Chain A
């Protein structure tokens, strides 16, 4: 199994080098811009880079779909289980890389800008980001596997819009119901930061696992 995963990882990293090199360059330029202008905080940079890197792993699926690519890949010593596992491993590796780069950039930002402080809170947020980004990348992979080609490209922005719409609706509802808002804030206020962090990490892990199981199921049913 490991040979198959290693082969697919080799393919995807090479694809990233050939096609994602520009993305990497844009990421770096934007990060430097933020650092130098101080328009965004170091914490934003630390979240933004791993997010983009993780989401890229879902994007490699579209390269595999083109030109009967799946058909060919599965004629090699690779099966559907190996394929899905590789995508999740790829997103993990990309997140780790993005996370490290993000942390370095955030560190530089704090060095350049005296107002920025590299504190424990920021490091904790980075850690939580790592898990949340993994969950988001997992959802993206599942969506790309479920909806092929053009459909996938349409469904992805729709999914993001729906998430925003839900957040906006909840926000508006809370604004309209001040009592409810206050009681929620009381509950959150009463909960320690550590508990919130653990809850977020656990929730992310659950979402990640559910997306993995779903991706496996989608792939098992696929015919080429």
Chain B
């Protein structure tokens, strides 16, 4: 669905240097702190900015080769972007009906009703959460094959975020060959949704791993300096000094649990992994 090969883009001191793949039938997550380069990457994929080197293929084609017909197969949510606030929800519906031959008006109405989006109000009068929900509804109601969602849960409370993630799961269940690329700086949103995860830090991909592998094999080992000196360091990915000694990130949790039973092992959560990868010393 999406293939990004060595794409480079410079903005003064910031440098984006990324490779990433989204396969058919998979939900791929992109996590990183604010300003890590997530939105820049999305813009590069959509052809909204040029890039200095590399290649991007979306639905097997470069942006220049991508026809308007093929662009109809994309459902996009971009952080803080949407239709002008001077339109009403029902105006958006009319515009979508013109733009997308496969627009599902009934589903649009049903979802707006379910998520309490007032179609008779101006968008500028919507809350941040309502705008986020409307943008997601727009992306989901024209039978897109590939969803590109940049921070779709921004501005939503916990309940609404969970609801939104459920919608995405249902969307994938409808047609398993669909794919999603979703970014968020809230990693817990992606932990139980994605098949694989890319972690981006200062414009570079610092980790690509299957979500199941992270949850099963990754862990943070909490060791004293003495334990650290004695332990096998072959499977340590990152280390960071802490008040108790040293925190080490490993992708071979079982090995350390079996060979160093006295070591404190905190099973991997995506949050821990990101924290270690973006703040660790090694």
Could you list which residues of chain A lie within 8 angstroms of chain B, going by C-beta atoms?
A: 1, 3-4, 6-7, 9-11, 14-15, 18-19, 63-64, 66-69, 71-72, 74-79, 82, 223-224
Q: Show 27 A/B contacts (Cβ-Cβ < 8 Å), sorted by A.
A: A1-B68, A3-B68, A3-B99, A3-B100, A7-B96, A7-B98, A11-B87, A11-B91, A15-B86, A15-B87, A67-B84, A68-B80, A69-B81, A69-B84, A71-B48, A71-B81, A72-B78, A72-B82, A75-B74, A75-B78, A75-B81, A76-B71, A77-B68, A77-B69, A77-B100, A224-B43, A224-B49
Given contacts A10-B94, A68-B78, 5 further A-B contacts (CB under 8 A): A18-B91, A63-B84, A68-B81, A75-B48, A76-B99
CB distance from A87 to the nearest CB of B (A): 15
Q: Which residues of A contact B101 (CB under 8 A)?
A: 3
CB-CB nearest in chain B for A76:
B99
What CA separation (Å) do A78 and B76 show in the bound complex?
13
Distance (Å) between the CB of B68 and the closest chain A CB?
4
Contacts of A224 in B (CB 8 A): 43, 48-49
Report A-chain residues with C-beta under 8 Å of the C-beta of B43.
Answer: 71, 224
In the assembled complex, how far is the CB of residue B7 from the closest CB belonging to chain A, in whole angstroms?
A: 15
CB distance from A136 to the nearest CB of B (A): 25
User: In the bound complex, what is the Cα–Cα distance between A29 and B155 (angstroms)?
Assistant: 44
Q: How far apart are the CA atoms of A82 and B71 in the complex, in Å?
A: 13
How distant is the Cα of A9 from the Cα of B95 in the complex, in angstroms? 8
Greatest chain A CB density within 10 A among B86, B100, B148 is at B86
- Which among B69, B87, B98, B101 has the highest number of chain A CB atoms within 10 Å? B98
Choose among A1, A6, A11 the residue with the greatest number of B CB atoms under 10 Å from its CB: A11
Asked if B33 is an interface residue, CB under 8 A from chain A, the answer is no
Could you tell me if B98 and A10 are in contact, using CB atoms closer than 8 angstroms?
yes
Residues of A within 8 A of B46 (CB): 74-75
Shortest CB distance A124–B (Å): 37
CB of B124, distance to nearest CB on chain A (Å): 9
The reply to whether A77 and B72 contact each other, CB–CB distance below 8 Å, is: yes
Query: CB-defined interface of B46-80 with A at 8 Å, one 1/0 digit per residue?
Result: 11111000000000000000001101101010101
Q: Are B78 and A14 in contact (CB under 8 A)?
A: no
CB–CB B98/A75 < 8 A: no
A67-B76 in contact given A7-B95, A224-B49 (Cβ < 8 Å)? no
Contact of B99 with A78 in the complex, beta carbons under 8 Å: yes
B161 within 8 A of A: no
Q: B98 and A74: CB pair below 8 A? A: no
Asked whether, in the complex, the Cβ of A67 is within 8 Å of the Cβ of B95, the reply is: no
Report the minimal beta-carbon distance from B260 to chain A, rounded to whole angstroms.
50
A interface, by DSSP: helix, strand, loop or mixed?
helix
Residue in chain A with minimal CB distance to B75: A75
Residues of B within 8 A of A78 (CB): 68, 99
Tell me the nearest residue of chain A to B45, going by C-beta: A75
Nearest residue in A to B76 (C-beta to C-beta)? A75
Residue B235 interfacial (CB < 8 Å): no
- Interface assignment of B83: CB less than 8 Å from any CB of chain A: yes
Smallest CB separation, B179 vs chain A (Å) = 16
Closest to A19 in B: B86
Residues from chain B with Cβ under 8 Å of A9 in the complex: 98
Given A1-B68, A72-B78, A224-B48; A6-B98 close (CB under 8 Å): yes
- How far does the alpha carbon of A7 sit from the alpha carbon of B98 in the complex, in Å? 5
Bound complex: CA of A18 vs CA of B101, how far in Å? Answer: 25
Chain A residue at smallest Cβ distance from B138: A76
Q: Hey, which chain B residues are within 8 Å of A223, CB to CB?
A: 48-50
Cβ of B76 to closest chain A Cβ, rounded Å? 4
In the docked arrangement, what's the CA distance between A35 and B46, Å? Answer: 52
A19 to B: closest C-beta gap in Å: 5
Q: How far is the CB of B132 from chain A (nearest CB, A)?
A: 13
- Complex: how many Å from CA A64 to CA B80? 14
| Shortest Cβ-Cβ A-B pairs, 10 listed | A7-B99, A68-B81, A75-B76, A72-B81, A7-B98, A77-B71, A14-B91, A224-B48, A77-B68, A6-B98
Residues of B within 8 A of A82 (CB): 68
| Residue pair A72, B88 in contact (C-beta under 8 Å) | no
Q: In the complex, A131→B98 CA distance in Å? A: 29
Distance in angstroms from B74 CB to nearest chain A CB is 8
